Structure 1
Amino acid sequence: MAPYQCPNCSRLLHFEARVCPSCAFTLGYDPAADAFLFLGDNATTWRDAQGEAHDVVVCANNNEYEICNWLVSTTDSTPFCRACRYNSTIPDLSGPQVPERWGKIEAAKRRLIQEIIALRLPCETMIEAAENGTFGLAFDFLYDPVGEESGNIQITTGHEAGLITLNVMEADDAKREAMRNRLGEPYRTLLGHFRHEIGHYYWARLVQNDPEQLAACRAVFGDDTMSYDEAREKHYGGAGGGWTTDYVSAYATMHPWEDFAETFAHLLHIKDALATIGGFGMRLMNWPGEDVQPSIDFDPYTADTLTLVNEWRPFAFAENAINRAMGQPDLYPFHISEAITAKLDFVNRLLMGARLS
């Protein structure tokens, strides 16, 4: 996402900011305005950079748990912000380190929801969907005490019928890194999980019940009627087909559903990373063999796929070079082939067709 400024002093902020590190004013993000507001007038009125008052209050999850920095309109029918209102179940906060982990989960989820808003995609809560007959989204964040103690995980992260479940152990950096190494994955993050699982949600919403889209999707990703359980057993049993450059990740080779969700996640990675780069006005000045040096002079959330991929490749290379200079692994440890570009293009066109007016 593009960087945000403190509405009082213009200091650049991280999206998780709650207090400006420069002027010390209390801050809150207003998704309706897509901007941070500051609490002025003796801490009673939220104002924007022009000094205009907004009729908003802090999210209920901030009042009760100090877990959210988003604001909600006083006229909304729910006390929860645009991100927190999707929660169906929050974790048992009496578990060790669970409150801290839940905070990390909510921070990652807010970035996901902000990007869904930027993409202008339909995304109703379960309550909203029941009222208007659409396909709703909800989240269950669950504590797994047995998995915590024994390592035998009882709660699997996944999606089913609009409900995304996440084991809060994923927010433990050491445990997530151990799992990444055990599964041989080059990349595993909370935000990556969310982008992957919401890819399943949009497949169910935009593809599954549309015969034309379903046929087109199968032509690109393969026949999804193949047994998922058998495919999963083969993949984790080592009898899968193996990773080729036709797939953006090894996990994508397991089943067409996972290929779609992994591709969906990578498209969101690329769009949001390019929006961030463009928001800072960054460009590459010494990229060889280019008459026009790479820069983000377009809206990544609406751009065509070739524009996205062509601009992303040099910036991804530069980001990886910077990480290596710091002794860190590649920030984007993936390769985008022509086959992957075609898959990204299918998802990108699907999302552009679903944009709300």
Structure 2
Amino acid sequence: MRLYECGKCGNPVHFDNRVCINCGAQLGFLPDSMSMQALTPAGGDLWQAASRPQADVRFCANAAHDICNWLISTNDDHVYCQACRYNHIVPVTDNPEGLARWQKIGQAQRYLFYSLLRWNLPRPGRDADPQGGLVFDFLADEVDANGYLVPAMTGHEDGLISLRAAEANDATRESVRVSMNEPYRTLLGHFRHEIGHFYWAQLVRDDRTLAEARALFGDERVDYAEALQRNYRQGPPADWQAHFISTYASSHPAEDFAECWAHFLHIVDTLETARSFGLSTEPRRHEKMAAEVDFDPYRAADAQTLVDAWVPLSVALNSIQRSMGQPDSYPFVLSPPVVQKLDFINRLIRRAGAVYER
């Protein structure tokens, strides 16, 4: 994620900022230019962006609930921004808990769409593809006839990504993480994993690409329900870490692809953040742990370039976390087979889109 600056005073501003803390300017993110804009009111719902000659932008309709800070050009007929317009079922906003959940979910969703827009990946919605277009449902838990809680499910099916809204609550999400013995569980992780399933359907289509994918991840036609049941009964293979990014990735080829897709987005976006802040590692007497992000991670020619910078940085991040008594930020190992999978995803993305010129 880039570090931005206020268009009025030059003060550093972040992707989530609504107001510049230095000059008080209203801020909004304009996906058309992938830029944070300092704004001046121009009457009605229109705003004048500092970098544009006309007052021709307005906020996403979800800004009314402090859920979204993205802008829309007046020549766009949608009332929702390029991320929010894909939403179908959303949390209620008539109570503090529902609103807080929606705000956290919306934040994670915008980080996801930042990456999709940077790569210019295809994002057909249900208007373009009624059967398999992208759409999101953020679902509330239910109570059955006997008064028992029935948690909503997080998953993907034919372009529909469902997310359990209750996981926006830290205590709920952490309890699930502990019960499932997971090292990592976040809203953004859910988004990046489930969108991986969507892009398998979008991008792994021709015979050559499908054959390469199956050689790396396995045959996705293997019975899914049976594979998951076997994983829950027997656990992962003893040598799973030599071949997979996570234990869940070992359960089925489709989950292996989605997990690798999610980690690829984690790595690329975090490296861009490190680059924006000028972070580098050069520990004394440990030359092999030296790294500098002197390239645009969204344009990396191959996954090895990313990994060579990521491993030293992630080790440093984990060490800093431990110094604060916190769990590791990235408790995963990138084995050679995993790097091959990440490289396939990098090539897949590079073929499918064109990185936004900035």
Normalised to the residue count of structure 1, the TM-score between the two structures is: 0.91
Give CA-to-partner distance per residue, 1:85-111, whole Å, 9 cap, x none. 111221244567111111100000000
Find the aligned partners of 1:95 and 1:237 in 2 and give their Cα distance.
Answer: 40
How many angstroms apart in 1 are the aligned matches of 2:288 and 2:34?
A: 35
Verify the 8 A CA contact 2:105 2:168 in the aligned structure 1: yes
User: Which ranges of structure 2 fall in alignment gaps of 5 or more residues?
Assistant: none
Q: Is the 8 A contact 2:303 2:342 kept in 1?
A: yes
Q: Is the 8 A contact 1:135 1:205 kept in 2?
A: no
Instruction: Give yes or no for contact 2:241–2:335 (8 Å, CA) kept in 1.
Output: no
Q: Does the C-alpha gap of structure 1 residues 291 and 102 become closer, same or farther in structure 2, counting only changes over 3 Å? A: closer
Question: What CA RMSD, in Å, does the superposition of the two structures yield over aligned residues?
Answer: 2.3
TM-score, length of structure 2 as denominator length: 0.91
Aligned residue in 1 for 2:330:
332
Unmatched runs of 5 consecutive residues or more in structure 1: none
Contact 2:141–2:149 (8 Å) recurs in 1: no
SS at match of 2:72: strand
- The alpha-carbon distance between structure 1 residues 76 and 180, as it changes in their structure 2 partners (threshold 3 A), is same
Counterpart in the other structure of 2:114: 114
**Which residue number in structure 2 is paired with residue 219 of structure 1?**
215
How far apart in 1 are the matches of 2:256 and 2:216?
10
Tell me if the contact between 2:60 and 2:81 (Cα under 8 Å) persists in the aligned partners: yes
Aligned length: 351
Q: Deviations over 1:224-273 (max 9, x none)?
A: 11110011112222355353321101111110000000000000000000
Is the alpha carbon distance of 1:171 and 1:191 closer, same or farther for their aligned partners in structure 2, counting shifts above 3 Å? same
Paired residues of 1:92 and 1:143 also in contact (CA < 8 A)? no
Aligned residue number for residue 79 of structure 2: 79
Q: Structure 1, residues 134-179: CA drift from partner, whole Å, max 9, x if none?
A: 95211011111329x9774442100111110011011010010010
Change over 3 Å in CA distance of 1:225–1:129 after alignment to 2? closer
Asked if 1 retains the 8 angstrom alpha-carbon contact of 2:28 and 2:38, the reply is yes
Q: 1:118 to 1:238 in 2, by over 3 A?
A: same
Show the counterpart of 1:125: 125
The corresponding residue for 2:62 is: 61
- Secondary structure at the aligned position of 1:258 is classed as helix
> Kindly, what percent of the aligned residue pairs are identical?
45
- Separation of aligned partners in 2, 1:55 and 1:172: 37
Local SS of the residue matching 1:164: strand
Q: Work out whether residues 284 and 293 of structure 1, in 8 Å CA contact, stay in contact via their aligned partners in 2.
A: yes
Contact 1:37 1:47 in 2 (8 A): no
**Residue aligning to 2:258:** 261
Q: Which residue of 1 aligns with 2:142?
A: 145
Q: Secondary structure at the match of 2:298?
A: coil
Give the whole-Å Cα distance in 2 for the aligned partners of 1:337 and 1:198. Answer: 23
1:195 corresponds to which residue?
A: 192
* 1:172 corresponds to: 169
Amino acid at match of 1:336: L
